[in-house]
A and B are shown apart, each in its own frame.
Chain A
Amino acid sequence: MKKIVEVLEEKKNGLVFGNRILLPFQAELLKIVIDSEIITNFGKRLKGAHVRVTDYYTEIYFLDYKILVNEIPKYKSIKMVVVQQGEDVFDFNNHINLEIEFLGKHQISIKKIGDDVLFYE
C-alpha cells in the first residue's frame, strides 16, 4: 500500500463513484471541506461523511450528496486534512492538506493544497 507522500509524488489518481471517493492510501481524516460545508464529525452516519479505511484504500461517502461529479461546481474542489495512518496524529508536522478535483466521470486528482488556495486547518 502506497503512502500519501508517494501518491502525491507519483501523481496517482483516486476514484469517484456516485457519492463515494476512493483514495489510494490509508489515512486518518481530520477535516473535510466540501463546497462550503465543513465536516469534522465522522462519528455519525446520517449526515456529513462516513469514512472507511481498508487494507487497500480509504473510502469516503458524502452522505448529503448523490452524484458528486454533478453536484460540485466546476472550479470547486474537496479539501481535507489527513494524516498517514500509523503516524503521530498529534504532531502537526504530519498533517497534510489535500485538494481533490474531478478529472472525469470516475477519476479524481489528489494534490497537496498550494499557497494560492485558501484553506485553514
Chain B
Amino acid sequence: MNKKIVILFIVTLLSFAATSKIVAQDANHTSKTEIVQETHQAEGEHQLPNTFMVIPFIVLLAMIATGPIMYQHFWEHHYPKVALLLGAITASYYLVVLKDFHSLLHTAAEYFSFIALLASLFYASGGIMIKVDKKATPLLNISLLLFGAIIANVIGTTGASMLLIRPFIKINEKRIKPYLVVFFIFLISNIGGALTPIGDPPLFLGFLKGIDFFWFVEHIWYIWLPTVALLLIIFYFFDINNKADDDGQEYSGKFEFKGGKNLIYLAIILVAVFIDPNVISWVPNLAPFPIGIREMIQFGVVLFAIKTSDKEILKYNEFNIEPIREVAFLFIGIFATMIPALQLISHEANVLGDSLTPGLFFWSTGSLSGVLDNAPTYLNFLSAALGKFGLDLNNAADVKEFMNMDYIYLQAISVAAVFFGAMTYIGNGPNFMVKSIVESAGIRMPSFFSYIIKYSVPILLPVFTLVWLVFYY
C-alpha cells in the first residue's frame, strides 16, 4: 500500500516538474530561443539542448530515489545498465545532434575528479579500525558525534560514517535504539560535512567548478556551529532518557586504533586535493586528457589501500566494494544526463532574475536534496543562481566572480544541499550505508517513512526553519 502511494507521489511530482518546465519552456520558446541564439552566436558557445533531453536525468533521479525502496532486487542487479544507458542517450545526443564534444570531455574530467576522491577516501578509511570499550553516557555519545561531525570535513561524511558507526554502536551495545543511529546520520553522515569540499560530494563538485577550498568554512561555520550545537542538545534530551540496563558489565576504558598506514593514505588524499593547475602553477595541466595529476595520486592510493589494508580490519568493518561501485556507476549516468539540465536551468534562471531569492534557493535546494541525490541537485541550483546574474557554471572565472560577488546565494545553496541530505535515507550516500551496516548487525532501523515522520520532520525541519529565519528570511 505504502509503496503504491510513494510511486504515485513521486511519479506525479516528477511528471509535474517535467511538464511545468516543458510548458513554461514552450510558452517562452520563441522569444527565449531568439535570445539564446543571439547570445550563443555572439559568444561562439555551444547550442542549448532540447528541453526533452532532461528526461533521462529525471528518469535516473527518480529511479535512484525509488529503486532501493520499491524494486530493490531489480535495482541491485541492473542499476549499472540503467545508469550507462541513460548516460549514453545524452552523450549520443551531444555528439551526434549538437556536435558538442567539449561539454562531454569537461564532464568526464569532473567525473574522474569526483570518483577519485570518493573512492580513495572510501578505501583508505575502510582499512581503519577504532574500538572503544567504555560505558555509554550522553556526554560520551555527544563527544563522539561532535568528533565525527568535525572529522567529516577531513575524511568526508562517507569516511567518517564508515569509521565511527561500529564503535558508536558497540559503545551503546546495551542501550541501542534507533534514535542513536538517526542522530549519527544527521550529524556525521550529513550536516557535519558542510565546512569543506571534502566533507560532502555537492561541495566537492562546487570546488571542481571553481569555488575556493576555504570559502565554505569561512562562510558556513557560523551556521554549522549553532545547528550542530542545537542538534546535540536535542540529542542529549533523547539520550538522557535512555535508561537501558547494562547488566553491571565492566568496561576497561580502552581505546584501540588500528590501520595507521591508512591515516597516511588519508593525508595523501587531502594534500592531493590541492595539486591542481588552478591552485599551484607548476602542476602540469594534462587537458584534454580527463584525468589530472591529482586524480592519478588518488587512484594510486586506491590501489595501495587495496593491496596493503589489513585483512582483519577489512573483515571487522565488513568491507565491501558495493557502495563505491554503486556511486561510480550511478554518477556516470548522473554526470552525463545532468549536462542538458544544467545548461537549461542556468539559462532559465537568467530569465527569471529577481524572483529568485536566497530563501527560495535554500528551500528549493533543500527540499530536492532530501529526496534526490544532493550532489546533482546542488549543481542544478548553483547553475540557476549563477544564471540569475548572467554567469555560467562551466566557466571557472564566472564561478569565482559569483563566489565573491554575493556570497548569500552560494551559502544558502551549500548549506541546504548538505543539511537537507539528512532528511531521508536517500538524501545522501552514507545514510543508506549506515542503515545497511546497522541492519547487518541485526538492529532494525525505522522504515523510510518512519525515519521522516518520527525524526526528520519533528527534529530537523524546525531546526532548518530556524536557520532560514535567522539567515535567509
Q: A interface vs B, CB < 8 Å?
A: 31, 33, 35-38, 64, 73-77, 79, 116-121
Cβ–Cβ contact B315 & A38, under 8 A: no
Interface residues of B in 400-444 (CB under 8 A from A): 435-437, 439-444
Number of A-B contacts (CB under 8 A): 50
How many B residues touch the partner, as a band?
20 to 34
A75 with B442, Cβ < 8 A, contacts A36-B435, A118-B169 known: no
Residue B52 is within 8 A (CB to CB) of chain A in the complex: no
A38 with B319, Cβ < 8 A, contacts A118-B166, A118-B170, A120-B176 known: no
Cβ–Cβ contact B439 & A36, under 8 A: yes
Cβ–Cβ contact A120 & B320, under 8 A: no
For the A-B complex with A33-B439, A75-B317, A120-B443 known, give 10 more contacts whose Cβ atoms are closer than 8 Å: A31-B442, A35-B440, A36-B439, A37-B439, A75-B315, A75-B318, A75-B319, A79-B442, A117-B316, A121-B442
Cβ–Cβ contact A33 & B442, under 8 A: yes
Do most interface residues of chain A lie in helix, strand or loop, or is the interface mixed?
A: loop
Residue B314 is within 8 A (CB to CB) of chain A in the complex: yes
Cβ–Cβ contact B441 & A119, under 8 A: yes
CB distance from A114 to the nearest CB of B (A): 10
Determine the chain A residues whose CB is within 8 A of the CB of B176 once the complex forms.
Answer: 120
**A-B CB contact pairs (8 Å), 7 listed:** A31-B442, A75-B314, A75-B318, A77-B318, A118-B170, A118-B437, A120-B441
CB distance from B330 to the nearest CB of A (A): 18
Residue B173 is within 8 A (CB to CB) of chain A in the complex: yes
Interface residues of B in 269-328 (CB under 8 A from A): 314-322
Report Cα–Cα, A29/B170, bound state, in Å: 25
CB distance from A60 to the nearest CB of B (A): 16
Interface residues of B in 426-473 (CB under 8 A from A): 435-437, 439-444
CB distance from A81 to the nearest CB of B (A): 8
A73 with B320, Cβ < 8 A, contacts A118-B166, A118-B169 known: yes
Determine the chain A residues whose CB is within 8 A of the CB of B169 once the complex forms.
Answer: 118
Cβ–Cβ contact B442 & A76, under 8 A: no
User: Whose C-beta in chain B lies nearest to the C-beta of A40?
Assistant: B444
Cβ–Cβ contact B436 & A74, under 8 A: no
Determine the chain A residues whose CB is within 8 A of the CB of B442 once the complex forms.
Answer: 31, 33, 38, 79, 119-121
Cβ–Cβ contact B319 & A118, under 8 A: no
Determine the chain B residues whose CB is within 8 A of the CB of A74 once the complex forms.
Answer: 320
A38 with B439, Cβ < 8 A, contacts A73-B322, A120-B173, A120-B176 known: yes
